[in-house]
A and B are shown apart, each in its own frame.
Chain A
Amino acid sequence: MKKQIKSRDLEVLSAYLDGQLASREQTRLETRLKSDPDLQSALEELRQTRNMLRSLPKLRVPRNFTLTPEMLGFKRDTTRFFPVLRLTSVLAMILLAFVFFGDFMLQSSPSMMPEMEVSNDVYTAPQLAEKAAEIQEAAAPYPGGLAFEAPAAEALTDESEGETRAPVMKVPEPTPTVMATFAVAEMPYPAVGEAASPQESFVENNATTNSLLRVLEIGLAVIAIGAGIAAFVLRRGTLG
């Protein structure tokens, strides 16, 4: 009668069959096998069972198990858009950074032309020439440009006190001619004809550029954010 093989021995025999025993344990088992026919028989039964299982045929697959976008729960071909959307978002952000930088440089550079008050008077060329002649006539007797009479120095002495007061120079009120001289001298660049002044053109151009930059910045920001969100949603939909 065959003796019952212990479950521990069966485990060792099974591992021995698959070459999974450590060398010391293997040597010990082989020694036992030489003297234990029941152990040999149990090993042989395990071997036959394993061989039977190994002889089972492989099954042919009944169909292909390849995946379609519909199986994964998103619209056909949308997976192909993910790299495009990601690239679009990145490029838009890079361009936006460049535009921001350019805008910053533009805003922080000094004005090319000084601000000037624009005269409301419009002068034609002949009127300008007349004005220039007047200025020259008015300035001719006054090398320094300022008209005044040097009053006679009067020694104003206070005989009673015996002191001599320094002579007082009276500066007369400026003559109308002098006032006109100063007015002309302070006259800013007159507008000639109907042509716009250089600074008007400059300001207009500056405003147009700023508007363009704003539109570009907003547009690029919308593209970057929109493409990024779309790529994120697509990725979430793909991976579940």
Chain B
Amino acid sequence: MDESALIAAARQGDLDSFNHLVLAYQELIFNQAYRVMGESNAADDATQDAFIAAYRKLNTYRGGSFRAWLLRIVTNICYDELRRRKRHPTTQLEPLDDAGEEIESPNWIADPTESPEETTERAELGRAIQRCIDDLPPDFRVVVTLVDIQGLDYAEVAEVVGKPLGTVKSRLARARTRLRRCLQGFRELLPSALRLDNEE
């Protein structure tokens, strides 16, 4: 069954058809939720809530990019959770290592060509980049992850965030600039080709 047939069947109450869509998009939605929320547990909750909300609101889907429609739902759920956390700050429950640093253990998709050392370095770089993403304001965070991590084009991102194209361009440029400055603090982790040596 193709996507439009699955959506039509799901609209009639066919849960099995909707679950086929879930399986097709869950990796995309979970990764986006993880990049915006910065942690696995929150991403897990946001992803599940997003699919439940999507099933309930299927009658509001008016065609166009189903991917963008789903991403919009998970983005709004993440925004709501971030606002709630800002009103009611909570202590992080991630485990700490011997140095008192939080241990995050995301389940990266393994690259079979990498050595274990390379895998570890990649994981550390990933954590560093994620830390810099976490420092961005939510609006910038969403746009830069949608464009540079999820690979959406500007028009689709505008559809997801519900803002004009000019706003998307502006937020993206500023997010990239801030990330560049933040990543200078992790120079030793950056591959040599990516080290920004011309910064004074």
- Partner-B contacts on A (CB < 8 A): 1-2, 7, 10-11, 13-15, 18, 20, 41, 45-46, 48-67, 69, 71-72, 79, 82-83, 234-235, 238-240
* Majority secondary structure of chain B interface residues (helix, strand, loop or mixed): helix
A58–B52 CA distance with the chains assembled, in angstroms: 23
A54 adjacent to B148 (CB under 8 Å): yes
Choice from B51, B56, B177, B194 contacting A240 with Cβ under 8 Å: B56
Binary interface profile of B, 136-170, with partner A (CB < 8 Å = 1, else 0)? 00000000110111010110000000000000011
B129 within 8 A of A: yes
B185 within 8 A of A: no
Knowing A52-B183, A64-B23, A82-B13 touch, does A57 contact B109 (C-beta < 8 A)?
yes
CB neighbours (8 Å) of A64 from chain B are 22-23, 26
B residues apposed to A, CB below 8 Å: 12-15, 18-19, 22-23, 26-27, 29-31, 34, 40, 44, 47-48, 51-52, 55-59, 106-109, 111, 122, 125-126, 129, 144-145, 147-149, 151, 153-154, 169-170, 172-174, 176-177, 179-180, 183, 190, 194, 196, 198, 200
Given contacts A60-B109, A62-B44, A82-B13, contact A18 B173 (CB under 8 A): no
A-chain residues with CB within 8 Å of residue B57 when the two chains form the complex: 239
- Given the interface contacts A41-B198, A53-B148, does A67 sit within 8 Å of B31 by beta carbon? no
Number of inter-chain CB pairs below 8 Å: 134
Q: How far is the CA of A35 from the CA of B179 in the complex (A)?
A: 27
- State A19–B55 Cα separation when bound (angstroms): 36
Inter-chain contact A53/B149, CB cutoff 8 Å: yes
Partner of A7, one of B22, B29, B31, B174: B174
Q: For B109, give its contact among A20, A49, A58, A240 (CB under 8 Å).
A: A58
Q: Cβ of A239: which chain B residues have Cβ within 8 Å of it?
A: 55-59
- Most interface-central of B40, B126, B180 (chain A CB within 10 A): B180
Contact A49 B183 (CB under 8 A): yes
Whether B13 contacts A79 by the Cβ 8 Å rule is yes
Contact of B48 among A46, A56, A59, A65 (CB under 8 A): A65
Let me know if A14 and B52 touch, CB within 8 A.
Answer: no
Which of B30, B111, B148 has a CB less than 8 Å from the CB of A59? B30
Complex Cα gap A45–B55 (Å): 42
Known contacts A14-B169, A71-B52, then 8 further A-B pairs from the complex at CB < 8 Å, ordered by chain A residue = A11-B170, A52-B190, A53-B129, A53-B149, A65-B29, A66-B23, A67-B51, A72-B15
From A14, A48, A72, A83, give the contact of B172 (CB < 8 A): A14
Q: Are A65 and B51 in contact (CB under 8 A)?
A: yes
Q: Nearest A residue to B172 by beta-carbon distance? A: A14
Please, which residue of chain B has its CB at the minimum distance from the CB of A41?
Answer: B198
Which of B148, B169, B196 makes the CB contact (< 8 A) with A15? Answer: B169
- Provide the residues of chain A in CB contact with B22, threshold 8 Å: 64-67
* Assembly CA distance A121 to B137 (angstroms): 106
Chain B residues with CB under 8 Å of A2's CB are 198, 200
